[in-house]
Every structure is written in C-alpha cells, then in structure tokens.
Structure 1
Amino acid sequence: MDHSMHNFLYPLTVYRRPVEPAQLVFKANLQEFAHQVSYISNLNTNGKLSSDEAFSHIHHLWKTLKRSQATLRLEHLRDQAMQVGNVVNLRQPFCPNANSLDCFSFGKVVSVMTTEIGMEVLVHLCNADGVELYTDEFGYQAIYSFCLDDIQIPDLS
C-alpha cells in the first residue's frame, strides 16, 4: 500500500470541524440511501426488478432523503433560535394576568431545559426589538415558562 493511501485510510490528524448531531444523522441517512440504491440496482441487474420499478423505488428513496435533510435543517434552526438572549415569537399572545390588558407576542429566551415531557423554554416577555417590558407587582422581571409547541419555529424560506 502506498504512503498516500495509508494516510487516507488511517489519518493521523484530527477532524477540526464542529461535529453536530444533525450532520451525523444525515450521514447515516445517506449511507442507508446508498445501501438501498445498491440493493435495488442489483435486483434490476439480475432481472428481479424492472427498470421502471427500480426508478420509482430510487425516486421514493431520494424524496425521503431530501425530506429528512429538510427536517434536520429545521431542527438546527430551532436549536439556533432557542439560544439564550434571542427573541422568539409566541404562537399566541400571552397575557400575564387576567386583570392586565397587556398581551405579549414575543419573549427573550432566558433558559432552555429538557424535562420529562419535552423541552421547556423560560422567557422574559418583551417587544419585537427585545426590550423587556413586563415586570411583576414587585418590579422584578418575571420569567414565564413555555413548552416548545408554544414557540413559533422560524420558516425555512
């Protein structure tokens, strides 16, 4: 084995890019796609599957792979949106108390926690510019808890 092939198969340097779970999942999906395409191609070559059937199966696998990529991108955007300090949209205006006429559509992320029932986002109520507006009766900035379903995820387009 020549030296350059040995370096390729057994590299001595470390991977320097940040490893993200979405990348790992997509690479696994891509490997599964390649495996399935190889299997379908072999069936076609051996006459067990017609060319039209093989094409339709591969086309369906391709659509599934593209859909998984879009889903992973959406999850990555959601993770970016849920960074502490970012302003997020609330799905429905939130009124802190029944007597108040003030209802808020935005919150500044204070903390994100994973609980048994899902992800919980703690926010300060604010305006679209991130200026925190609401304080409780003692003058403290109140923190409100929302589940992830109550937070609007940014659109991909």
Structure 2
Amino acid sequence: MLQIKVLAVGKIKEKYLKEGLKEYAKRLGAYIRLEMIEVEDEPCPERASAADEARVKQKEAEKVLKLISPQDYVVLLDLLGKELSSPELAVLFDEKGLSGQSRITFVIGGSLGTADEIRKRADYRWSFSKLTFPHQMIRLILLEQIYRACKISKGEPYHK
C-alpha cells in the first residue's frame, strides 16, 4: 500500500479547512496510508529584510528535512514546478508503486516559500497552477488531488 506523508509548514487555523482535511483523510484510508505533519513556522518580522526571510526559510527547511527519510520520493509543491493533470498524478503513483518506491512525501513550504536545500532534495517539483492559492488551503486541495488520483488509479469513477 502506498504511504503518503504530507509535510506542511504552519498550522491550519480555520475550522472548515480542518474538517475538510479530516474528511479527505478518512476517504483516503481505503487507498493509502496517510501521515500529515505540521511543522511550526518561524516568526518573521512584518517588514522583513531579504536576510530575515532567508533565515526563516532556512530554519523551516531544517525542520522539514529532518522528517524526510532517504528512501522517500519527495514532491515539493513549488510555483516554479511542472504542472500535472489528475490522471498524470495517478500514473506517477502507479509508477512509484511498481518500482518499489512506495513512500511519497509531499512538502508544502511556509508562506515565504522554501529554501534551496528543499528544492535540491525534491525528486519532483509540482505546481498546481499559475494562480495563487491561500497558503493554508493548499493542503486541502492537495488531499483532494491525492484522493482523485487514487480513484483514477483504481479505475473508479470520479468527477471530471
């Protein structure tokens, strides 16, 4: 069974997002083993300098990288990454499973983005869209896409 870990910097505060995440985690239980880990974000001054922002991203990266195993296939959610369709994500899951790489870790950086160390560790950099999404909402969108890909992979109907 595919093991998927979602590492995200920052806490979810909105109740509706927490409920949505809980619902998709429940649905995904039939397809994968899911682990969701929140990494505490670093405080950043309101008018942060470039050096302050780099320091924040570096500290957040250190926390994230400690939670990634050497055998994990790491997918970084990155604005500059490659876009994937839902069927292409399903193919990625199938390919990883068939090649014996059943541990996939998705990384969602902090509100300032991610440090270069995480980009270097990533096996794949995935952009959802050229649109900007609220930082906390992206976790829910990610879980929905993972669920959709699992259904596609199993040949089950899904809403197009």
TM (norm. structure 2) is 0.24
> RCO (CA 8 Å, sep 6+): is it higher in 1 or 2?
2
The two structures have a TM-score, normalised by structure 1, of: 0.25
